[in-house]
Structure 1
Amino acid sequence: MAAPMNLWVIVPAYNEAAGIATTLRALAEQDDKDFTLLVVDNGSTDGTAEIVRDLGVQVITEPRKGTGAASDTGMRHAIAHGATHLARTDADCLPRRDWVRNIRRAFGDGLEMVGGRLRPRTDEFPLKLWERWLIPAVVQVAATFGRIRPGNRDPAYLGPYVMMPGCAVAITADLYVRAGGFPRTAIEEVHEDRALVNAVRRVTSAYASRRDVVVYGSVRRLRAYGLIGTLAWYADHRYRPDVVDIR
């Protein structure tokens, strides 16, 4: 008989006071509520932590700024408090109502790491019809490029590269420790989600992306950088804007 799954959902947050309540509401409305929610305040200066606490959600602090650092702190805190399975989304994202349920199903199917689909949010900015089509298409192109990218190819890898956005990823606690976890870096230094995927590929092939694990992501970076700038940003930070933390 399999041991019960103790699932924690980790949300790193930096200066997200304007919108984090919407993300927490999406998590509160999951049709599978059997998880522990933890927000990692990454040194916010706008009252993010206070808003989260007022909503009755647990908060810890990671003063070292960086999505990798904050995510790793949250994951390791969860493991130290009994988590057997971990999921992460971001404070500007909206997991679909069945997100947790479908993650749990994927783990039940034997996967040790689960990625999901990233779709554009439509509640932040008006999206034209062509944008609603284009954004998922761009994500797919990026996923395809990732499979042939030299940095993602190594004979030591046990399976193919699979793009897993950090805002829509889940992993067993055991694998997280075995793989070394998220690098404790800032967003402008390393794409921590890609680094974790490649670390996992060195120790197991039990990972996959699931189409039913869906998160709606913010388009604010696209609005700030434009399409070409956004693509260059995600392609090894070839575009370096003056302002990295878009709010």
Structure 2
Amino acid sequence: MTDRLAVVVPVFNEPDVARALEALRRQRDGAGLSVYVVDNGSTDDTVQRVERFAADHPDLAVRILSEPQKGTGAACDTGFRAAIADGSTVVARTDGDSEPAEDWATRIRATFSRDATVQLLGGTSLPLRDRYYRWSDDLLMSGALRLLRILMAVAHLDAAYLRFVAGHNMAVRASAYVATGGFERTSIDRRDEDIDFSVRVSHRLGYAAVRIDPQLKVATSMRRVRRYGMGMMGVHHLVPALRGKLIRTIDVR
């Protein structure tokens, strides 16, 4: 039986959200794809732009949800649970400032259909060529993510961090999401709900339940790196207790 695939996109004041939606519309295996855009209290016209996109492209099933509680954890949990309630068996996630490759949905479906062991799937992050892009970002992003996984595994003495899955490029079986409790409904100035979720899946369902497919590619904006710098981004992930103290303005959604 073919998995019913949904994609959750949390948004907050996303000027380029149409770009993310267009990337989902252009998926080679987009038949039956459902998209849940979760507005997390936008103060601009993000919702109206999503509505216009949906009206102009009826071939992509877009549902708009609202989550007033601040945080990507809260917004994504609302979207995932709505998709699961609607019958989706696999739920993916990307961000409003990200652009999945055209074979993204194909690779997600193929992996979950082929291997019943896999419960959570991640991939490769690429720099999005938007106004925040710099020529060195291609080398910077690939090396930084590998290094961060190693540093977090050492800091926590836990190999599960070697396979943490970034929120802009992930997919999970609905059954695994429910069984592990899903995303913590936290905001990014407190915790990284995607990393915490990855580790929890590995602990509860086994290390092999989490897979990183290097060919599962999503380009994502470097806007947060541009604002805080690579060093401060490392501190942000490695020492979350400093958020709101040394790091005073984390949430740039």
The two structures have a TM-score, normalised by structure 2, of: 0.88
Aligned residue runs from structure 1 range 1-247, under 5 A: 3-16=1-14, 18-34=15-31, 35-56=33-54, 57-110=62-115, 111-128=118-135, 130-150=136-156, 152=158, 161-205=162-206, 206-237=209-240, 238=242, 240-246=246-252
Give the letter aligned to residue 21 of structure 1: A
Q: Cα 1:49–1:141, aligned 2, differ >3 Å: closer, same or farther?
A: same
Note the C-alpha offset of 1:89: 0.4
Note the C-alpha offset of 1:61: 0.4
RMSD: 1.7
Please list the CA deviations of residues 143-179 of structure 1 after superposition, one character each: whole Å capped at 9, or x if unmatched: 22233232646xxxxx674121011110000000000
More helix by share: 2
Please list the CA deviations of residues 40-81 of structure 1 after superposition, one character each: whole Å capped at 9, or x if unmatched: 001111121111111113101011010000000000001111
Report how many residues are paired: 238
Note the C-alpha offset of 1:202: 2.6
Aligned residues: percent identity?
34
For residues 161 and 196 of structure 2, the distance between their equivalents in structure 1, rounded to whole angstroms, comes to 14
Give the letter aligned to residue 27 of structure 2: Q
Moved more, 82-91 or 202-211: 202-211
For residues 160 and 235 of structure 1, the distance between their equivalents in structure 2, rounded to whole angstroms, comes to 11
For residues 2 and 133 of structure 2, the distance between their equivalents in structure 1, rounded to whole angstroms, comes to 43
For residues 83 and 126 of structure 1, the distance between their equivalents in structure 2, rounded to whole angstroms, comes to 35
Where in structure 2 are there 5+ consecutive unaligned residues? Answer: 55-61
For residues 236 and 223 of structure 2, the distance between their equivalents in structure 1, rounded to whole angstroms, comes to 13
Q: Cα 1:137–1:50, aligned 2, differ >3 Å: closer, same or farther?
A: same
Please list the CA deviations of residues 190-247 of structure 1 after superposition, one character each: whole Å capped at 9, or x if unmatched: 1101111122123212221101111111100111111211221222334654433326
The two structures have a TM-score, normalised by structure 1, of: 0.90
